[in-house]
């Protein structure tokens, strides 16, 4: 196949080798860091040009570079799923349009088809070929944004992708350096706010112009052969470093299972779905198999295969390959299998507007396995719990708004306070409160005053969600909550989801909980008269809103995809918290006291979960009473929990003291041996569970706690919780070893064999 470029045709590059035998390492480092700085300049240019709060404040954008065949050479910080997806888009553009109409110096191509690249139609990219002397294709650069609107039905109401607005597989918005006003207006006039979307498009074009111009400057400075060779080296280095990282980790299999919920259109009820991942690491390769994942839905709650692959690349970049250059090379050792027709590989033309929501849980599902694998390697500083732990507060009014502002301007659809999520705990410290969003390294949370300018909202508060993080020896970071009033507009609506009754994503590690205590999205018909109460010093609180003191709580019948928000509606919304690490009873009582004093943890949680008793009006820890309370909790574990196998050990011997440690694969468990078959034992008390090739959970004390018994509030609709926590304790010391979430209605094996380490018996 030929690729048109200027006045002549050049063969498409497919793995072309550089003419340079060696790359000078000093010049290479200079080039590498200069290219990164150029990409960041392009991204910042994009953010300065656009007025989109999702992009300018939220950081949902990306600048990146690709070789002439479409392989990603370098992505710069921003929304990482964009970078991985754009490689696919460029390769398809070359395949489909390289001959006709061809690509020329000055072209820029618009693309947003989620079945080829990206997550949903709102992921827009503009791709620019970079030419030397107008007729020699050198490389590609691309910018991407998450745009609020593409026309179509408002978010939440799509049944198929055709409902989700414009879907373009390649259209020149700039041709040979000339801006195509006809294409621009054709795209933007299909959207509710043409100026808003138009600025996003022009911002991407501006970012590409900066990146392309500066890239050519590098060619002039370093020479064409060097630049091409350096690009090849960056991809090769990424692959070699990724393989080296994998070789340094123990071989094994890690199995993870997490849940999401969506609307069943027939019953108008919440229905649970599971994401199931079997991750196997062998030598320098990693295999991810998603067999067992739930089938696709007839809502927009689906992910295309390109979206799934992009989110997997994002997850591995965040945790495993964070120190590997961000190019396509890092994914070459990774093999991915996703069943067609599942929510992670939906069949066309399924709607996929909620693909990033599934993607967040997918990232968490992958990261759980990776975190356990990394822990077994001893790199404790690289281990993190999840940042996407929601209980049932994903139900109720969402955050995709529609309508008009006080000035009559169309409302952009996304309000991205979700970027203020709590980060996961680590083995060394608590998670960061409202620390960001693990999918976007440069994410930001919108300023309240700017939100009130762009939406018909009046904020009352935005703060940390008390008891909102996963409990543990180290707790997860607190998520945030916000409370606001619909003010100044009689035309406003939001997407609506059924209350699911089970945690949505998130994981704790080694005894830590995946989420905190329940928090519920709510809407009350407060009316504008409430402002008089506020002026008189009466301020709304979540408990009083839940009790109906600020107006009737609204739960629409039939669970519509969208609901109107009348002026005077008072809304409460919550953002995810991080997962916890380790047994909550091992948490420093003084840390619990500090959290209580800051309003981050309640007295009930301090006592019930952490076993900490306060005195002096909550200003001091009663250490004796705390020790007694914690021992009472441990005794309750021994009394209420039983081993699934009927016995606490599969071994007929007690040789713990004579064994040496082979591998510490868990905060409290290790593989040990003395020349015979290796076994799993407790590091704290020495209890021997079983052989190293068995599931230790079968011999641990096992207790099932239904979520209705764990959460202080029932679901607002009165429907039952559908999940349960499976807690595992050491039979010897009653230390909590693991907390797994299970959804009985979906079936499957309740006792998940999550860690299967493959090592030689005598390996030190």
- Let me know how many helices (H) and strands (E) the chain has, helices first: 15, 31
- For residues 462 and 460, give the distance between their C-alpha atoms in angstroms, rounded to a whole number: 7
pLDDT greater than 70 at residue 16: no
The pLDDT of 689-705, averaged and rounded, is: 97
Give 184-216 pLDDT, tens digit per residue: 999 999 999 898 899 999 999 999 999 999 999
Residues in the chain: 764
Question: Using alpha carbons only, how large is the chain's radius of gyration in Å?
Answer: 27
* Tokens 């069949």, residue located: 347
Distances (CA, A) of 198 to 180, 181, 190, 432: 12, 11, 11, 36
pLDDT at 441: 74
Provide the 3-class DSSP secondary structure of residue 84: helix
- For residues 562 and 739, give the distance between their C-alpha atoms in angstroms, rounded to a whole number: 35
CA nearest to 695, candidates 761, 752, 760: 752
604 contact partners, CB below 8 Å, separation of at least 6: 712
- For residues 162 and 152, give the distance between their C-alpha atoms in angstroms, rounded to a whole number: 8
The pLDDT of 254-266, averaged and rounded, is: 94
Q: Which two tokens stand for residue 52?
A: 């989109």
Predicted model pTM: 0.95
pLDDT at 414: 77
pLDDT greater than 70 at residue 581: yes
- For residues 502 and 259, give the distance between their C-alpha atoms in angstroms, rounded to a whole number: 7
- For residues 457 and 303, give the distance between their C-alpha atoms in angstroms, rounded to a whole number: 31
Q: Do the beta carbons of residue 626 and residue 635 sit within 8 Å? A: no
Q: Which two tokens stand for residue 96?
A: 């489909």
- For residues 392 and 176, give the distance between their C-alpha atoms in angstroms, rounded to a whole number: 52
pLDDT greater than 50 at residue 762: no
Angle, vertex CA 74, rays to CA 70 and CA 79, nearest 5? 100
More confident position, 603 or 764: 603
- For residues 709 and 699, give the distance between their C-alpha atoms in angstroms, rounded to a whole number: 25
pLDDT at 393: 54
pLDDT band at 173 (very low <50, low <70, confident <90, very high): very high
The pLDDT of 350-375, averaged and rounded, is: 95
CA nearest to 401, candidates 480, 489, 481: 489
**Tally of CB atoms within 10 A around 39:** 29
HEC profile of 542-582: HHHHHCCCCCEECCCCCCCCEEECCCCEEEEEECCECCCEC
Provide the 3-class DSSP secondary structure of residue 227: helix
- For residues 700 and 647, give the distance between their C-alpha atoms in angstroms, rounded to a whole number: 8
Provide the 3-class DSSP secondary structure of residue 740: strand
pLDDT greater than 50 at residue 7: no
Q: Are strands 72-75 and 61-67 parallel, antiparallel or unpaired?
A: antiparallel
pLDDT greater than 70 at residue 685: yes
Q: Do the beta carbons of residue 86 and residue 144 sit within 8 Å? A: yes
Q: Which helix (H) or strand (E) covers residue 681, if one does?
A: strand 679-682
More confident position, 304 or 390: 304
**Tally of CB atoms within 10 A around 202:** 18
pLDDT at 657: 62
pLDDT at 395: 87
CA nearest to 456, candidates 498, 523, 410: 410
Distances (CA, A) of 760 to 370, 516, 671, 675, 749: 21, 39, 11, 11, 28
pLDDT greater than 70 at residue 13: no
- For residues 399 and 571, give the distance between their C-alpha atoms in angstroms, rounded to a whole number: 11
pLDDT greater than 80 at residue 295: yes
pLDDT at 96: 97
Give 517-542 pLDDT, tens digit per residue: 877 889 999 999 999 999 999 999 99
- For residues 314 and 228, give the distance between their C-alpha atoms in angstroms, rounded to a whole number: 26
The pLDDT of 741-758, averaged and rounded, is: 94
The lowest-confidence range among 89-93, 386-390, 522-526 is 386-390
Q: Do the beta carbons of residue 683 and residue 668 sit within 8 Å? A: yes
- For residues 346 and 91, give the distance between their C-alpha atoms in angstroms, rounded to a whole number: 21
- As to burial, measured by CB atoms within 10 angstroms (0-12 exposed, 13-18 middle, 19+ buried), residue 45 is buried
First to last CA, the chain: 54
pLDDT greater than 80 at residue 653: no
The pLDDT of 305-328, averaged and rounded, is: 94
Provide the 3-class DSSP secondary structure of residue 418: helix
pLDDT greater than 70 at residue 4: no
Q: Which two tokens stand for residue 538?
A: 């009466």
* Tokens 């550089």, residue located: 18
Q: Are strands 123-132 and 136-146 parallel, antiparallel or unpaired?
A: antiparallel
Dihedral of the CA atoms 623, 626, 630, 633 (nearest 10)? 170
* Tokens 């499976």, residue located: 726
Q: Do the beta carbons of residue 278 and residue 370 sit within 8 Å? A: no
Q: Where are the beta strands (DSSP E) in 24-107?
A: 61-67, 72-75
């Amino acid at each position: 196949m030929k690729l048109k470029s200027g006045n002549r045709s050049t063969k498409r590059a497919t793995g072309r080798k550089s003419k340079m035998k060696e790359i000078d390492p000093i010049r290479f480092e200079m080039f590498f860091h200069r290219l990164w700085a150029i990409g960041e300049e392009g991204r910042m240019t994009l953010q300065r040009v656009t007025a989109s709060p999702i992009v300018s404040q939220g950081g949902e954008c990306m600048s990146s570079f690709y070789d002439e065949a479409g392989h990603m050479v370098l992505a710069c910080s921003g929304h990482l799923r964009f970078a991985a997806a754009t490689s696919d888009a460029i390769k398809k553009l070359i395949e489909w349009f390289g001959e006709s109409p061809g690509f020329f110096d000055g072209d820029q191509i618009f693309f947003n088809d989620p079945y080829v690249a990206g997550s949903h139609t709102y992921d827009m990219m503009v791709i620019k070929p970079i030419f030397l002397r107008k007729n020699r294709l050198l490389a590609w650069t691309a910018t991407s944004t998450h745009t609020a609107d593409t026309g179509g039905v408002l978010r939440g109401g799509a049944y198929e992708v055709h409902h989700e607005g414009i879907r373009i597989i390649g259209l020149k918005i700039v041709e040979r350096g000339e801006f195509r006003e006809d294409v621009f207006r054709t795209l933007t006039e299909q959207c509710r706010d043409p100026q808003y979307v138009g600025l996003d498009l022009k911002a991407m074009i501006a970012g590409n112009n900066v990146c392309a111009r500066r890239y050519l400057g590098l060619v002039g400075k370093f020479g064409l052969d060097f630049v091409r060779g350096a690009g090849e080296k960056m991809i090769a280095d990424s692959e070699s470093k990724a393989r080296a990282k994998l070789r340094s980790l123990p071989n094994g299999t890690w199995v993870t299972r997490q849940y999401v919920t969506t609307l069943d259109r027939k019953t108008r009820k919440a229905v649970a779905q599971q994401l199931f991942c079997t991750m196997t690491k062998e030598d320098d390769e990693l295999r991810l198999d998603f067999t067992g994942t739930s089938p696709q839905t007839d809502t927009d709650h689906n992910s295309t295969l390109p979206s799934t692959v992009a989110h997997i690349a994002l997850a591995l970049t965040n945790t495993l390959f964070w120190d590997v250059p961000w190019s396509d090379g890092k994914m070459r050792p990774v093999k991915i299998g996703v069943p067609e027709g599942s929510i992670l590989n939906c069949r066309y033309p399924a709607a996929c507007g909620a693909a990033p929501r599934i993607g967040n849980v997918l990232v968490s599902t992958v990261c759980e396995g990776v975190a356990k694998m990394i822990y077994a390697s001893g790199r404790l500083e690289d281990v993190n719990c999840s940042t996407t732990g929601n209980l049932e507060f994903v139900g109720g009014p969402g955050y995709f708004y529609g309508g008009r502002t006080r000035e009559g301007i169309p409302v952009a659809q996304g309000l991205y306070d979700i970027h203020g999520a709590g980060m996961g705990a680590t083995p060394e410290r608590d998670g960061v409160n409202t620390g960001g969003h693990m999918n976007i390294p440069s994410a930001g949370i919108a300023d309240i005053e700017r939100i009130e300018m762009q939406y018909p909202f009046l904020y009352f508060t935005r703060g940390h969600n008390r008891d909102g993080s996963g409990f543990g020896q180290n707790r997860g970071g607190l998520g945030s909550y916000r409370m606001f009033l619909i003010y100044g507009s009689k035309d406003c609506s939001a997407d609506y989801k059924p209350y699911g009754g089970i945690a949505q994503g998130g994981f704790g590690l080694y005894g830590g909980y995946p989420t905190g205590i329940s928090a519920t999205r709510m809407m009350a018909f407060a009316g504008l008269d409430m402002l008089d109460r506020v002026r008189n010093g009466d301020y709304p609180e979540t408990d009083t809103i839940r009790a109906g003191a600020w107006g009737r709580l609204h739960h629409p019948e039939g669970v519509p995809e969208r609901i109107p928000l009348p002026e005077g509606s008072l809304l409460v919304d919550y953002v995810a918290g991080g997962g916890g690490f380790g047994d909550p009873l091992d948490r420093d009582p003084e840390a619990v006291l500090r959290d209580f004093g800051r309003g981050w943890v309640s007295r009930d949680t301090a006592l019930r979960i952490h076993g900490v008793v306060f005195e002096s009006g909550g200003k001091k820890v009663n250490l004796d009473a705390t020790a007694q309370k914690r021992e009472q909790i441990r005794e309750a574990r021994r009394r209420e929990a039983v081993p699934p196998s009927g016995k606490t050990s599969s071994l007929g011997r007690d040789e713990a003291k004579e064994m040496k440690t082979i591998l510490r694969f868990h905060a409290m468990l290790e593989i040990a041996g003395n020349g015979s078959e290796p076994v799993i034992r407790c590091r704290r008390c020495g209890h021997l569970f079983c052989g190293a090739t068995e599931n230790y959970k079968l011999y641990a004390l096992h207790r099932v706690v239904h979520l209705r018994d764990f959460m202080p509030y029932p679901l607002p609709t009165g429907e039952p919780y559908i999940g349960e926590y499976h807690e595992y304790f050491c039979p010897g010391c009653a230390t909590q070893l693991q907390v797994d979430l299970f959804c009985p209605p979906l079936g499957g094996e309740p006792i998940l064999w999550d860690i299967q380490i493959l090592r030689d018996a005598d390996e030190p």
